[in-house]
Amino acid sequence: MINLTWRSGRSMWTRIVVRPGMALTADQTTALVADMRAIASLTLKGEDLEYGVLGGDADRLNNCVITVVYQSEKPKGPRRPVAFNVLSLLDVELANRPTQVMHLGLVMVDPTARGRGLSATLYGLTCVLMFLTGQGRPMWISNVTQVPAVAGMVAETFSNVFPSPRPDARRSFEHLSLGRQIMARHRAAFGVGEDAGFDEGRFVITNAYTGGSDALKKSFAEATPHRQQKYNDFCQQQLDYDRGDDLIQIGRIDMAAAGQYLRKVAPPTTAVGLTGLVLLMGARMALLPVIHWLSPNRAWGVLRPAKMSR
Protein backbone atom coordinates (compact mmCIF):
# COMPACT_ATOMS: atom_id res chain seq x y z
CA MET A 1 0.00 0.00 0.00
CA ILE A 2 1.21 3.52 -0.80
CA ASN A 3 1.09 6.19 1.90
CA LEU A 4 3.43 9.01 0.88
CA THR A 5 3.85 12.59 2.10
CA TRP A 6 6.40 15.03 0.69
CA ARG A 7 7.03 18.74 0.40
CA SER A 8 5.61 19.94 -2.93
CA GLY A 9 6.21 23.67 -2.70
CA ARG A 10 7.46 26.48 -0.51
CA SER A 11 4.57 26.05 1.93
CA MET A 12 2.79 23.02 0.46
CA TRP A 13 2.81 19.34 1.35
CA THR A 14 1.18 16.58 -0.69
CA ARG A 15 -0.06 13.26 0.66
CA ILE A 16 -1.15 10.30 -1.47
CA VAL A 17 -2.79 7.22 0.07
CA VAL A 18 -3.77 4.18 -2.00
CA ARG A 19 -6.78 2.25 -0.63
CA PRO A 20 -6.89 4.14 2.70
CA GLY A 21 -9.52 1.79 4.11
CA MET A 22 -6.89 -0.95 4.02
CA ALA A 23 -3.67 1.06 4.47
CA LEU A 24 -4.69 3.17 7.48
CA THR A 25 -6.13 2.52 10.92
CA ALA A 26 -9.72 3.49 11.62
CA ASP A 27 -8.62 6.66 13.44
CA GLN A 28 -6.23 7.66 10.66
CA THR A 29 -8.95 7.12 8.05
CA THR A 30 -11.41 9.20 10.07
CA ALA A 31 -8.86 12.04 10.31
CA LEU A 32 -8.16 11.90 6.56
CA VAL A 33 -11.88 12.05 5.70
CA ALA A 34 -12.31 14.92 8.18
CA ASP A 35 -9.61 16.89 6.32
CA MET A 36 -11.46 16.40 3.03
CA ARG A 37 -14.82 17.32 4.54
CA ALA A 38 -13.28 20.54 5.90
CA ILE A 39 -12.19 21.49 2.37
CA ALA A 40 -15.59 20.52 0.94
CA SER A 41 -17.39 22.66 3.53
CA LEU A 42 -15.36 25.72 2.53
CA THR A 43 -15.78 25.03 -1.18
CA LEU A 44 -19.53 24.38 -1.01
CA LYS A 45 -20.18 27.09 1.60
CA GLY A 46 -21.37 24.70 4.29
CA GLU A 47 -23.35 22.27 2.10
CA ASP A 48 -22.71 18.54 2.50
CA LEU A 49 -22.07 15.82 -0.08
CA GLU A 50 -23.83 12.51 0.52
CA TYR A 51 -21.95 10.07 -1.69
CA GLY A 52 -18.66 8.23 -1.94
CA VAL A 53 -15.82 8.71 0.52
CA LEU A 54 -17.26 11.93 1.95
CA GLY A 55 -20.49 10.11 2.68
CA GLY A 56 -18.71 7.40 4.68
CA ASP A 57 -18.89 4.69 2.00
CA ALA A 58 -16.56 1.95 3.32
CA ASP A 59 -16.35 0.22 -0.07
CA ARG A 60 -15.10 3.42 -1.70
CA LEU A 61 -12.40 3.80 0.97
CA ASN A 62 -11.13 0.34 0.07
CA ASN A 63 -11.08 1.10 -3.67
CA CYS A 64 -9.75 4.60 -4.10
CA VAL A 65 -6.64 6.75 -4.12
CA ILE A 66 -6.81 9.94 -2.06
CA THR A 67 -4.55 12.93 -2.62
CA VAL A 68 -4.62 15.82 -0.14
CA VAL A 69 -2.58 19.02 -0.36
CA TYR A 70 -1.75 20.79 2.90
CA GLN A 71 -0.47 24.30 3.52
CA SER A 72 1.90 25.16 6.34
CA GLU A 73 3.20 28.65 7.10
CA LYS A 74 6.20 27.21 8.96
CA PRO A 75 8.28 24.11 8.06
CA LYS A 76 7.33 22.40 11.34
CA GLY A 77 4.05 24.22 11.91
CA PRO A 78 0.52 22.84 11.67
CA ARG A 79 -0.67 21.83 8.21
CA ARG A 80 -4.04 23.02 6.97
CA PRO A 81 -5.79 20.94 4.25
CA VAL A 82 -6.49 23.10 1.19
CA ALA A 83 -7.24 20.67 -1.67
CA PHE A 84 -8.05 17.03 -2.33
CA ASN A 85 -8.80 14.50 -5.05
CA VAL A 86 -10.51 11.13 -4.70
CA LEU A 87 -9.58 8.79 -7.54
CA SER A 88 -11.80 5.68 -7.59
CA LEU A 89 -10.63 2.29 -8.86
CA LEU A 90 -13.47 0.77 -10.88
CA ASP A 91 -13.49 -2.93 -11.75
CA VAL A 92 -14.56 -3.59 -15.35
CA GLU A 93 -13.90 -6.06 -18.17
CA LEU A 94 -12.36 -5.44 -21.57
CA ALA A 95 -11.81 -8.11 -24.23
CA ASN A 96 -13.05 -10.71 -21.72
CA ARG A 97 -10.31 -9.79 -19.26
CA PRO A 98 -10.73 -8.05 -15.90
CA THR A 99 -9.17 -4.61 -15.75
CA GLN A 100 -9.50 -1.35 -13.82
CA VAL A 101 -10.51 2.15 -14.78
CA MET A 102 -9.13 5.02 -12.69
CA HIS A 103 -12.00 7.43 -12.24
CA LEU A 104 -10.62 10.93 -11.65
CA GLY A 105 -13.35 11.58 -9.16
CA LEU A 106 -13.99 14.59 -7.02
CA VAL A 107 -11.51 17.47 -6.85
CA MET A 108 -11.99 20.40 -4.48
CA VAL A 109 -9.74 23.35 -3.72
CA ASP A 110 -10.15 25.82 -0.86
CA PRO A 111 -11.16 29.16 -2.47
CA THR A 112 -8.21 30.86 -0.73
CA ALA A 113 -5.74 28.46 -2.41
CA ARG A 114 -7.01 28.63 -5.99
CA GLY A 115 -4.87 29.83 -8.87
CA ARG A 116 -1.78 27.88 -7.79
CA GLY A 117 -2.04 25.02 -10.27
CA LEU A 118 -3.22 22.55 -7.65
CA SER A 119 -5.74 20.86 -9.97
CA ALA A 120 -2.93 19.68 -12.26
CA THR A 121 -1.12 18.23 -9.24
CA LEU A 122 -4.24 16.55 -7.89
CA TYR A 123 -5.24 15.00 -11.22
CA GLY A 124 -2.02 14.38 -13.10
CA LEU A 125 0.49 13.55 -10.37
CA THR A 126 -1.70 10.87 -8.83
CA CYS A 127 -2.37 9.26 -12.22
CA VAL A 128 1.33 9.31 -13.17
CA LEU A 129 2.20 7.67 -9.84
CA MET A 130 -0.40 4.93 -10.39
CA PHE A 131 0.83 4.48 -13.97
CA LEU A 132 4.43 4.01 -12.80
CA THR A 133 3.50 1.67 -9.95
CA GLY A 134 1.57 -0.36 -12.53
CA GLN A 135 4.91 -0.98 -14.30
CA GLY A 136 4.15 1.45 -17.10
CA ARG A 137 1.13 -0.35 -18.55
CA PRO A 138 -1.37 1.98 -20.28
CA MET A 139 -4.35 2.47 -17.96
CA TRP A 140 -7.87 3.62 -18.75
CA ILE A 141 -9.20 6.70 -16.97
CA SER A 142 -12.68 8.18 -16.72
CA ASN A 143 -14.02 11.56 -15.71
CA VAL A 144 -17.50 12.98 -15.11
CA THR A 145 -17.87 16.74 -15.25
CA GLN A 146 -19.86 19.71 -16.48
CA VAL A 147 -17.00 22.18 -15.89
CA PRO A 148 -15.25 23.28 -19.14
CA ALA A 149 -11.91 23.84 -17.38
CA VAL A 150 -11.89 20.23 -16.14
CA ALA A 151 -13.16 18.74 -19.41
CA GLY A 152 -10.43 20.60 -21.30
CA MET A 153 -7.73 19.63 -18.82
CA VAL A 154 -8.62 15.94 -19.23
CA ALA A 155 -8.69 16.18 -23.03
CA GLU A 156 -5.34 17.99 -23.11
CA THR A 157 -3.57 15.79 -20.54
CA PHE A 158 -4.58 12.21 -21.36
CA SER A 159 -4.49 10.12 -24.55
CA ASN A 160 -7.40 8.97 -26.72
CA VAL A 161 -10.03 10.95 -24.79
CA PHE A 162 -13.68 10.85 -25.87
CA PRO A 163 -15.77 13.01 -25.93
CA SER A 164 -13.73 16.09 -26.82
CA PRO A 165 -13.84 18.88 -29.43
CA ARG A 166 -10.36 17.85 -30.59
CA PRO A 167 -10.46 16.73 -34.25
CA ASP A 168 -8.84 13.37 -33.43
CA ALA A 169 -11.48 12.41 -30.82
CA ARG A 170 -13.22 9.17 -31.82
CA ARG A 171 -15.54 6.86 -29.91
CA SER A 172 -14.07 3.37 -30.15
CA PHE A 173 -15.66 0.08 -29.14
CA GLU A 174 -13.49 0.18 -26.00
CA HIS A 175 -14.89 3.61 -25.09
CA LEU A 176 -18.45 2.38 -25.55
CA SER A 177 -17.90 -0.85 -23.61
CA LEU A 178 -16.29 0.94 -20.68
CA GLY A 179 -18.90 3.70 -20.68
CA ARG A 180 -21.73 1.18 -20.53
CA GLN A 181 -20.11 -0.78 -17.69
CA ILE A 182 -19.32 2.32 -15.64
CA MET A 183 -22.88 3.58 -15.96
CA ALA A 184 -24.32 0.14 -15.21
CA ARG A 185 -22.14 -0.75 -12.21
CA HIS A 186 -20.38 2.30 -10.78
CA ARG A 187 -22.78 5.26 -10.66
CA ALA A 188 -22.32 5.52 -6.90
CA ALA A 189 -18.64 6.39 -7.41
CA PHE A 190 -19.59 9.79 -8.82
CA GLY A 191 -22.99 10.41 -7.22
CA VAL A 192 -25.26 9.76 -10.21
CA GLY A 193 -28.71 8.32 -9.46
CA GLU A 194 -30.35 5.38 -11.20
CA ASP A 195 -32.85 7.72 -12.87
CA ALA A 196 -30.12 9.53 -14.81
CA GLY A 197 -29.92 8.77 -18.52
CA PHE A 198 -26.90 7.96 -20.67
CA ASP A 199 -26.62 9.24 -24.24
CA GLU A 200 -24.22 6.70 -25.77
CA GLY A 201 -23.67 8.71 -28.92
CA ARG A 202 -22.45 11.86 -27.20
CA PHE A 203 -21.33 10.31 -23.88
CA VAL A 204 -23.57 12.67 -21.94
CA ILE A 205 -25.21 11.77 -18.63
CA THR A 206 -28.61 13.47 -18.50
CA ASN A 207 -30.14 14.63 -15.20
CA ALA A 208 -26.94 13.61 -13.44
CA TYR A 209 -27.35 15.36 -10.07
CA THR A 210 -29.79 13.04 -8.32
CA GLY A 211 -27.55 10.57 -6.50
CA GLY A 212 -26.03 12.60 -3.68
CA SER A 213 -24.04 15.08 -5.75
CA ASP A 214 -26.79 17.73 -5.82
CA ALA A 215 -24.56 20.39 -4.23
CA LEU A 216 -22.14 20.19 -7.17
CA LYS A 217 -24.67 21.23 -9.83
CA LYS A 218 -23.70 24.48 -11.55
CA SER A 219 -25.04 26.81 -14.18
CA PHE A 220 -22.86 27.43 -17.20
CA ALA A 221 -22.02 30.89 -15.85
CA GLU A 222 -20.85 29.36 -12.54
CA ALA A 223 -18.68 26.67 -14.15
CA THR A 224 -14.99 27.57 -14.45
CA PRO A 225 -14.14 28.24 -18.12
CA HIS A 226 -11.16 26.79 -19.95
CA ARG A 227 -8.50 29.07 -21.41
CA GLN A 228 -9.27 27.58 -24.85
CA GLN A 229 -12.70 28.72 -25.98
CA LYS A 230 -13.41 25.50 -27.89
CA TYR A 231 -13.93 23.61 -24.61
CA ASN A 232 -16.34 26.23 -23.29
CA ASP A 233 -18.33 26.12 -26.54
CA PHE A 234 -18.31 22.32 -26.56
CA CYS A 235 -19.72 22.01 -23.03
CA GLN A 236 -22.36 24.67 -23.66
CA GLN A 237 -23.48 22.93 -26.86
CA GLN A 238 -23.51 19.38 -25.48
CA LEU A 239 -24.92 19.90 -21.96
CA ASP A 240 -28.24 21.11 -20.61
CA TYR A 241 -27.11 22.97 -17.49
CA ASP A 242 -30.68 23.68 -16.32
CA ARG A 243 -31.43 19.95 -16.27
CA GLY A 244 -28.01 19.06 -14.86
CA ASP A 245 -26.06 17.13 -17.51
CA ASP A 246 -22.49 15.85 -17.34
CA LEU A 247 -19.93 14.64 -19.83
CA ILE A 248 -18.46 11.21 -19.12
CA GLN A 249 -14.97 11.25 -20.62
CA ILE A 250 -12.90 8.11 -21.13
CA GLY A 251 -9.24 8.10 -22.11
CA ARG A 252 -5.89 6.55 -21.24
CA ILE A 253 -2.72 7.38 -19.40
CA ASP A 254 0.28 6.00 -21.24
CA MET A 255 3.93 6.95 -21.66
CA ALA A 256 3.05 9.84 -23.98
CA ALA A 257 0.49 11.25 -21.53
CA ALA A 258 2.86 10.86 -18.56
CA GLY A 259 5.63 12.65 -20.43
CA GLN A 260 3.27 15.42 -21.50
CA TYR A 261 2.16 15.91 -17.91
CA LEU A 262 5.74 16.22 -16.66
CA ARG A 263 6.58 18.70 -19.40
CA LYS A 264 3.62 20.88 -18.39
CA VAL A 265 4.07 20.79 -14.63
CA ALA A 266 7.87 20.56 -14.44
CA PRO A 267 9.45 22.22 -17.51
CA PRO A 268 12.49 20.41 -18.99
CA THR A 269 14.67 23.42 -18.15
CA THR A 270 14.32 22.58 -14.47
CA ALA A 271 16.22 19.76 -12.77
CA VAL A 272 12.99 18.02 -11.75
CA GLY A 273 11.55 18.17 -15.23
CA LEU A 274 14.76 16.96 -16.86
CA THR A 275 15.11 14.08 -14.41
CA GLY A 276 11.50 13.02 -14.95
CA LEU A 277 11.80 13.07 -18.73
CA VAL A 278 15.08 11.14 -18.67
CA LEU A 279 13.51 8.46 -16.48
CA LEU A 280 10.50 8.19 -18.77
CA MET A 281 12.67 7.99 -21.88
CA GLY A 282 14.81 5.33 -20.24
CA ALA A 283 11.73 3.33 -19.30
CA ARG A 284 10.38 3.60 -22.83
CA MET A 285 13.62 2.49 -24.50
CA ALA A 286 14.92 -0.13 -22.07
CA LEU A 287 13.01 -0.95 -18.91
CA LEU A 288 9.49 -1.58 -20.22
CA PRO A 289 10.47 -4.18 -22.86
CA VAL A 290 12.46 -6.04 -20.18
CA ILE A 291 9.55 -5.92 -17.72
CA HIS A 292 7.15 -7.15 -20.40
CA TRP A 293 9.51 -9.97 -21.41
CA LEU A 294 9.99 -11.15 -17.83
CA SER A 295 6.26 -11.19 -17.03
CA PRO A 296 4.99 -14.30 -18.87
CA ASN A 297 1.94 -14.66 -16.63
CA ARG A 298 0.59 -11.14 -17.14
CA ALA A 299 -1.25 -9.61 -20.06
CA TRP A 300 0.19 -6.40 -21.55
CA GLY A 301 -2.30 -4.76 -23.86
CA VAL A 302 -2.60 -6.98 -26.94
CA LEU A 303 0.18 -9.27 -25.66
CA ARG A 304 -1.27 -12.43 -24.12
CA PRO A 305 0.31 -14.33 -21.21
CA ALA A 306 2.60 -17.15 -22.30
CA LYS A 307 1.59 -19.16 -19.24
CA MET A 308 -1.95 -19.24 -17.91
CA SER A 309 -2.51 -19.98 -14.23
CA ARG A 310 -4.80 -22.89 -13.52
CATH number at residue 89: 3.40.630.30
Side chain identity at 54, as an amino acid letter?
Answer: L
Per the structure, the complete domain to which residue 99 belongs is given by: 3-253
Taking the model in full, what pTM does it have? 0.80
Residue 274 lies inside a defined structural domain of this protein: no
Residue 212 lies inside a defined structural domain of this protein: yes
**Which residue numbers in the chain have pLDDT < 70?**
1, 46-52, 55-57, 115-117, 120, 264-289, 291-310
CA atoms of 134 and 18, how far apart (whole Å): 13
Residue 294 lies inside a defined structural domain of this protein: no
Residue 42 lies inside a defined structural domain of this protein: yes
- The confidence score (pLDDT) of residue 265 equals 62
Dihedral through CA 246, CA 116, CA 37, CA 23, nearest 10?
100
CA atoms of 288 and 136, how far apart (whole Å): 7
Q: Which of 221, 235, 227, 214 is nearest to 264 (CA)?
A: 227
Q: What is the pLDDT of residues 190-239, one digit of tens each?
A: 888 899 999 999 999 999 998 777 778 899 999 989 999 999 999 999 99
- The confidence score (pLDDT) of residue 270 equals 46
Q: What is the pLDDT of residues 258-299, one digit of tens each?
A: 877 777 665 454 445 445 555 665 666 566 667 666 666 666
Q: How many domains does the chain have?
A: 1
Residue 136 lies inside a defined structural domain of this protein: yes
Rg (CA), the chain: 19
